[in-house]
Structure 1
Amino acid sequence: MDSSAPAAATPSRALVIGAGLGGLAAAMRLGAKGYAVTVFDRLDSPGGRGSAIERNGHRFDLGPTIVTVPQLLRELWSECGRDFDADVDLRALDPFYEIRWQDGSRFTARQDTDAMRAEVARLSPEDLPGYERFLEDSAARYRFGFEDLGRRSMHRFRDLLTVLPTFARLRADRSVASHAARRFRDPRLRMAFSFHPLFIGGDPFHVTSMYILVSHLEKEFGVHYAIGGVAAIARAMARVVAEQGGEVRQGAEVDEILIENGKATGVRLVDGSVDRADVVVSNADAGHTYERLLRNHPRRRWTQAKLGRRRWSMGLYVWYFGTRGTAGMWSDVGHHTILNGPRYKGLLRDIFLRGKLGDDMSLYIHRPSVTDPSVAPEGDDTFYALSPVPHLGHAKPADWEAEAERYQEKVAAQLETVIPGFRDRITASHVMTPADFRDRYLSPHGSGFSIEPRILQSAWFRPHNVSEEASGLYLVGAGTHPGAGLPGVISSAEVLGKLVPDPAHPVRPAERLEMAAE
C-alpha cells in the first residue's frame, strides 16, 4: 500500500432519533444526499405510531390506517432512485368510509364527484350549491396550505409575514366547523365535512379552516390502504435506508442530545453509549425533544413555560380485536365506518376543553380484513374501534387503570349496534389508552398527535424543522411543521431535505455498498 496516498475523507454522518415515518423519511432523504445515516429507535420494529403487533394470528395496525396523497411517497422513493410501487402494494379504497348517525341515516364518501353530489342531495338537496362552493374552498386552501406552506420551511418570521395576506383572504381565523356551517344547513353534512381535523388531533370547532383542504386531498388523490398496513410502508422505508448504507437500530433509546459550543454533536443513549455526528434529527415528539432530550441545555424559544402553554391534541382509546369465522358476516360494515354518538360539538368540548371523559362517544371502526387477508387467519376478521378521549394533561385526567375496563364495556355496547354478537367470537384483543401512548411513544400527556393544529400553533408558530436551540439540530414528525398525519410527517422530511446542507464528504455509491454488506 502506498503510504503517501491521501487518506480517504470520513463521510459526513447524520443521526436520526426515532424510526417513525417522519424519521425514516428523513433518513432516506439524508442518505440520498450522501450522509452516512444511523437511526435510533426504542421500539422493536420500525414505524413508530405506524407500527404493528401480532396477537393470535391477527395483525393489529396500531396507528394510521389510510394513505392520502400517495405521490409524496412516490416522490420520496424517486429521490432515492427507487420505485415506491415496486416496494409497496397500495390499494385504492372505494368507498373511502361510511358515516352513520343515531337516526339511522348514512353518508358514503367516495372520490367520484357525481357520487358525492348524489349523497349530498339524498340527505339535503338544498345543500348542493353549498357543496359546490365547499369544493372550491377546499381546493384553494389545498393549493396554498399544502402545496405552498406545507412543502417549505416556515422557521423565519418573515416567512409568516409574507403569507398573512393570504391567510386573511382565505379567512384562516375561522374554524373548520364554522366554515362548514356557512356552506351547509343540514347538521349531518356540517359534521361530514368538518370532522377531518380529528384525523390529525384537532378540534374542528377551533382548528383553522385551512384544514378543509383535506376534502380536496380525498377528492383529488383518493384514499388508499397499503397491503400489510402502514407498518409495511415503514419496513420498506427501513430497507431503503439499509440499502443506502445506513442503519436502523431498534431497541436503542436516545436519552439526550449532546450540545457543544451551541452545536448538536451527537446523542447519548440510555445505556450510556455516545454516538457523534455532523447532523442530528429528532423524530421524537417535539415536546419530548425539548423537554427531555435537551433538558441539560438552556432553551431560548421552547422553554418549559412555553411548552406548558401549548394546547395538545386529544388522546385516543383504541380497542383492537380479532373475531373467529366472521369474514362473511356484517356485510354492510366496510373497511372504515364512523359511528356518531348523540353529540358532536358538546362531545368535542368535553374532550378538548373540559378534559371530561363522557358517557357517550363516537367511534371510528377499522376493518382491514375486507381489503387485506394478511391481517387475520382465513375466515376471520381483524378490527379496531377508536374513540377520541381527553389527553392526560387536564386538571383531572382520567385514571385509565381504573377506567379502561368500564370504558371497554361502553365501547362494546356501541359496537353491538353494528356488529351484533361480536363479543362471543373474539379470539384476540389488545387495548391502548392515552397512558399507553405516553409510555410507548413518549408522547406528552399521552396525546395522540402531539401539538394541536390551531392557527397559533401552526406554520411559524409550530416547532420549526430547524431548531433555534442549537445549530445542526433538526426536527421532523407530527409535532413540527407542517403537522400531523401521514402527508404532514412525510412533508416534514421533504422540508428537512431543503434545510440540511449537502455533506462535506458524501458517501459514494461504492462505500454505501460496503456499508450495507457490513
Structure 2
Amino acid sequence: MVTTAIVIGSGFGGLALAIRLQSAGVETTIVEARDKPGGRAYFWEKDGHVFDAGPTVITDPACLKALWELSGQDMAQNVDLVPVDPFYALDWPDGVRFDYTNDDERLLASIHALNPADVEGYKRFLDYSAGVFHEGYEKLGTKAFLSITDMLKAAPALAKYQAWRSVYSIVSKFVEEEHLRQALSFHTLLVGGNPMTCSSIYALIHKLERDGGVWFAKGGTNRLVAGMVALFERLGGTLRLNDPVQYIKTEGNRVTAVETRSGWCQAADMIASNGDVVATYGLIDHPRGKKRQKAMAKKRFSPSLFVFHFGLEGTAPEVPHHMILFGPRYKGLLGDIYNKGNLANDPSLYLHHPTKTDPSMAPDGCSTFYALAPVPHLGKAKVNWLEEGPKYEEVILDTLEERLIPDIRSRIRTRFSYAPSDFQTDLFAHLGSAFSLEPVLTQSAWFRTHNRDDVLSNMYFVGAGTHPGAGIPGVVGSAEATARLMLE
C-alpha cells in the first residue's frame, strides 16, 4: 500500500521535504495558501521589473543540489546558479568601505587596511568558525532533537565553543577594530538573530559562506523555487495553490486529514507543516493544538522586516549585488529592534541589486532593487504600517540618496513596500516575525519546535521554526531531519 503525506506550505523547507518524500516513493501533496509557491520566497512582476520577496542570499548550494541527486537528476537542468563577488560590500556613514570577498589576498589586505593587528585575529576567528561549522552544521544541522538526551550528547561540543556567548562577543575576542567586529557579526541578522545575544554557534555562517560561496539564481530566487516545484512535479508530486488549510483533523493521538478553505478534504498517513508554528498548532483539532499554541506564543520571536522595492530608470553599475549600509549606531539600533521596540530613523539597510548580475530582471536600461530594514515585530512595536510604511520609505530613500544614489528620487519608475503587517496577513507569521523563533541558545536544538510532535505521533514540522532555524541552508537541513523521521 502506498504511504501518503501532506505538506502544508511551499517555502524552501516544505519544498525540500516534499521532494525528499516523493523521491522515496511517498505520495506527497503540498497545500499552499498563496497563489504562488515559495512562502517567503514569493515574487512580483511590476512594470517589467521582477521583484523577489526574499531570501536573496543563497549559500551552501550543495544542500540544494542533493535534492536533485536523490533521483539521479542534475540541478542545472532547472536552475542556473551564478557566484556573487564580493559576497557583500559593507559601507559605514564615516566613509569606511569593506568588500567581504572569498579572495583571501583581497580580504586580508582589506582587514590590514583597517587594523594590521587584526589579520592574525581574523585567521583565528576563521579557525573558530570552522570548528563550530563542523560541530553545529555538519554534525547537527540535519539531526532531529527529539529528547533532552540528544541535547546532552551535543553539550560537550557546545561547551567547547562557548555557545552561551554571543556572536559579537566571540568576534570581539579575535578582532579589535569596530568596523571589523560588525563585519564579522552582522550575519546573524540574516536568520533573525541579534549579534549581541545570538549564540556563538551561529558564527558558523562565516565558514559556510567561505566554503560554499554566495550565489544568485539567474532570474531571481523565484527561479530556484520554480526549479524545485518542477522537480517535485516530475517525481509525481501534487501542488495545490491558493487554498489555505483551515483544520488539521485528528483521531486519538494521530492527525488524519487536512481541510482547506475551499472545502477540499484529504486524508494522509502523515502531515508536516512548513507554516508558522504558532498558527499551525492553532489549526489542530486536538487539546494538544491549543496547549502548544499557547506555550509557543510566549516564546521570543525574531524581529520583522520592512522591505522597500523599487525600480529605477537607468542602470547603477557602481552599486554591487549585495550591500550592507550600516547606520551610525550598531548596538543601540539592535537594542531598539530587539528590546525597546523603537522604530529607528537611522536604520541599517541590506540593499539587493539583482540587475547587477542579471539585467533581465528589469526592462532594458533600467535596474531593480530592494532595501531591507530590520524592524521590531508587532508584539514589540504596535505600528500602524499603513500609515508608517510610506514615511519609512522616505527614511530609507533619504539614506540611499545621501550615501549611494544622489538622484534616486527622480529616477524611480515603480515602487512598493512590504511591512510586518504583510508578513502577518500573507504568511500567518506570529507577530509578523520574519524568521519565527529568535535563535538564542534557550530556543535552539531541543528547545526549538521538535521536527515531530511529542504527542501527535504523525505530525511533523519543517522550516524556520524548527531545528536548526531560518535561512535556506537551515530550512533545507530541517527538511532532511524531518524526512528521516517520516521515512522511518
- TM-score scaled to structure 2, two decimals? 0.98
The CA distance in 2 between the partners of 1:165 and 1:487, in whole Å, is 24
Do the aligned residues in 2 keep the contact of 1:202 with 1:453 (CA within 8 Å)?
yes
Matched, 1:351 2:351: no
Instruction: Report the 3-state secondary structure (helix = DSSP H, G, I; strand = E; otherwise coil) of the residue aligned with 1:98.
Output: strand
| Corresponding residue for residue 438 of structure 2 | 452
TM-superposed CA distance for 1:34, in Å, is 0.6
The CA distance in 1 between the partners of 2:62 and 2:294, in whole Å, is 39
> In the TM superposition, what are the counterparts of 1:246-265 in structure 2 within 5 Å?
246-265=237-256
Matched, 1:426 2:415: no
The CA distance in 1 between the partners of 2:207 and 2:196, in whole Å, is 19
Matched, 1:25 2:53: no
Do the aligned residues in 1 keep the contact of 2:319 with 2:356 (CA within 8 Å)?
no
The structure 2 residue matched to 1:48, chosen from 18, 39, 52, is: 39
Gap runs ≥5 in structure 2: none
Q: Which moved more, 1:264-273 or 1:165-174?
A: 264-273
> In the TM superposition, what are the counterparts of 1:295-444 in structure 2 within 5 Å?
296-299=285-288, 303-324=292-313, 326-327=314-315, 329=316, 331-394=317-380, 396-417=381-402, 418-444=404-430
Gap runs ≥5 in structure 1: 1-8, 503-518
- CA shift in 2, pair 1:310/1:85, >3 Å: same
| Corresponding residue for residue 64 of structure 2 | 73
| Corresponding residue for residue 182 of structure 2 | 191
TM-superposed CA distance for 1:299, in Å, is 2.0
Do the aligned residues in 2 keep the contact of 1:287 with 1:479 (CA within 8 Å)?
no
The CA distance in 2 between the partners of 1:300 and 1:289, in whole Å, is 8
Matched, 1:60 2:51: yes
Deviations 1:272-310 (A, max 9, x none): 3311000101010112112x222x321289634422321
| Corresponding residue for residue 293 of structure 1 | 283
| Corresponding residue for residue 466 of structure 1 | 452
Deviations 1:210-244 (A, max 9, x none): 00111101111110000121111111111111111
Instruction: Report the 3-state secondary structure (helix = DSSP H, G, I; strand = E; otherwise coil) of the residue aligned with 1:134.
Output: helix
| Corresponding residue for residue 230 of structure 2 | 239
**Counterpart AA for 1:142:** F
Matched, 1:221 2:221: no
The CA distance in 1 between the partners of 2:348 and 2:249, in whole Å, is 44
**Counterpart AA for 1:78:** E
Deviations 1:435-464 (A, max 9, x none): 011111111000111111110101000001
> In the TM superposition, what are the counterparts of 1:30-179 in structure 2 within 5 Å?
30-179=21-170
Do the aligned residues in 2 keep the contact of 1:28 with 1:80 (CA within 8 Å)?
no
The structure 2 residue matched to 1:284, chosen from 272, 275, 280, is: 275
The CA distance in 2 between the partners of 1:264 and 1:82, in whole Å, is 33
The CA distance in 2 between the partners of 1:282 and 1:80, in whole Å, is 24
The CA distance in 2 between the partners of 1:121 and 1:94, in whole Å, is 20
TM-superposed CA distance for 1:184, in Å, is 1.2
Instruction: Report the 3-state secondary structure (helix = DSSP H, G, I; strand = E; otherwise coil) of the residue aligned with 1:14.
Output: strand
The CA distance in 2 between the partners of 1:358 and 1:223, in whole Å, is 29
- TM-score scaled to structure 1, two decimals? 0.92
Do the aligned residues in 1 keep the contact of 2:306 with 2:419 (CA within 8 Å)?
yes
Instruction: Report the 3-state secondary structure (helix = DSSP H, G, I; strand = E; otherwise coil) of the residue aligned with 2:287.
Output: coil
The CA distance in 1 between the partners of 2:387 and 2:290, in whole Å, is 38
**Counterpart AA for 1:81:** G
Do the aligned residues in 1 keep the contact of 2:78 with 2:230 (CA within 8 Å)?
no
The CA distance in 2 between the partners of 1:390 and 1:249, in whole Å, is 33
Matched, 1:205 2:196: yes
Instruction: Report the 3-state secondary structure (helix = DSSP H, G, I; strand = E; otherwise coil) of the residue aligned with 1:259.
Output: strand
Q: Which moved more, 1:467-476 or 1:379-388?
A: 467-476
Instruction: Report the 3-state secondary structure (helix = DSSP H, G, I; strand = E; otherwise coil) of the residue aligned with 1:410.
Output: helix
After superposing on structure 2, the runs of 4+ consecutive aligned residues of structure 1 that deviate more than 3 Å are: none
**Counterpart AA for 2:241:** Q
Instruction: Report the 3-state secondary structure (helix = DSSP H, G, I; strand = E; otherwise coil) of the residue aligned with 2:255.
Output: strand
The CA distance in 1 between the partners of 2:172 and 2:485, in whole Å, is 39
The alignment-based identity, stated in percent, is 43
The CA distance in 1 between the partners of 2:261 and 2:289, in whole Å, is 26
Deviations 1:155-213 (A, max 9, x none): 12110011111111110000001111111111101100011100000111000000011
Instruction: Compare CA radii of gyration and give the structure with the larger one.
Output: 1
Instruction: Report the 3-state secondary structure (helix = DSSP H, G, I; strand = E; otherwise coil) of the residue aligned with 2:436.
Output: coil
TM-superposed CA distance for 1:80, in Å, is 2.6
